[in-house]
Amino acid sequence: MLKKQIDTFKKYRFLLRELVKKGIKLKYRRSYLGILWTLLEPLLTTCVLTLVFGTYFGNNDKTFPVYILTGRLLYSFFSSGTKAAMKSIRQHAGMIKKVYVPKYIYPLSSVLFNFVIFAISLIVLIGAMLVFGVKPTIWLPTALLPLLMLFLLTLGGGMILSTMSVFFRDLEYLWDVALMLIMYTCAIFYKVEKLGTHQWVFKINPLYAIIKDFRMAIYGENMFSSPAWVIMPAVMSVLSVLIGVVMFKKHQDNFILHI
């Protein structure tokens, strides 16, 4: 069974590559700045957030823009990746009705093209580190681990959402509200340590744990010194993919009746 799935994936990997290219082109189709906006958008957002939550709220940490940017970039990928995956089946309804293609290709390509854009946007983070004096250390390569967990969590969430949205189309609006709640529990522009007794909310959010681990790697800290913050998001990421794959596979034959 596994060999068959691998052979099928190899057979359609060209289509996957083309869908990723198409997703990137469509995202910037009517934009004058094109892919350059991938670099400008997080930079401008970080400037605004730093001005509001750094200057006006009296945060004197010179590296605060890097703190904001790390959270902003990771959350943006999760948000855009899950939203794109959620819409992917209905967006490709015409192709699904005419040609046989493994349906998981669509949410997978949606997450992948957003990950490519996210990877490009990390150039801004490198520039911010140089400007604000956050020097790379031996712990910097460990940042790859939270990035892997982030990809898996986004893919798993995207598979679940893409399945549910076929049968429940209002989910798109509900997910926008959920993303707003998730954003405020990711500590993108404030420090969790200042919240006192309300920190438990962040301990159950795997996305915040991933952002925390990534920040530790960027700031030259050992994320493995707090194993719970690594184990929890890793387990949740893998679990989300397993649940997403099982749910998607179980219902994919009924998609054509509802799209």
Least Cα distance to 212 among 49, 53, 43, 70 occurs for 70
pLDDT score, position 15: 85
Place of tokens 């911010």: 128
Question: Would the pLDDT of 176 be above 80?
Answer: yes
pLDDT score, position 164: 95
> Quick check: pTM over 0.75?
yes
The secondary element (H helix, E strand) that includes residue 248 is helix 227-251
Could you give the C-alpha distances from 6 to 13, 15, 41, 252, in angstroms and in order? 10, 15, 38, 18
Residue pLDDT, tens place only, 19-50: 998 888 887 776 656 667 677 777 777 777 77
Least Cα distance to 256 among 99, 45, 43 occurs for 99
pLDDT confidence band for 1 (50 / 70 / 90): low
Distance CA 16, CA 67 (A): 34
The SS3 of residue 1 is coil
**What values do phi and psi take at 68, rounded to 5?**
-65, -45
Least Cα distance to 225 among 235, 236, 217, 234 occurs for 217
What does the domain layout of the chain look like in residue ranges?
9-253
Token pair, residue 92, equals 């490709």
Residue pLDDT, tens place only, 73-114: 999 999 999 999 999 999 888 888 888 888 999 999 999 999
Least confident interval from 13-22, 68-77, 187-196: 187-196
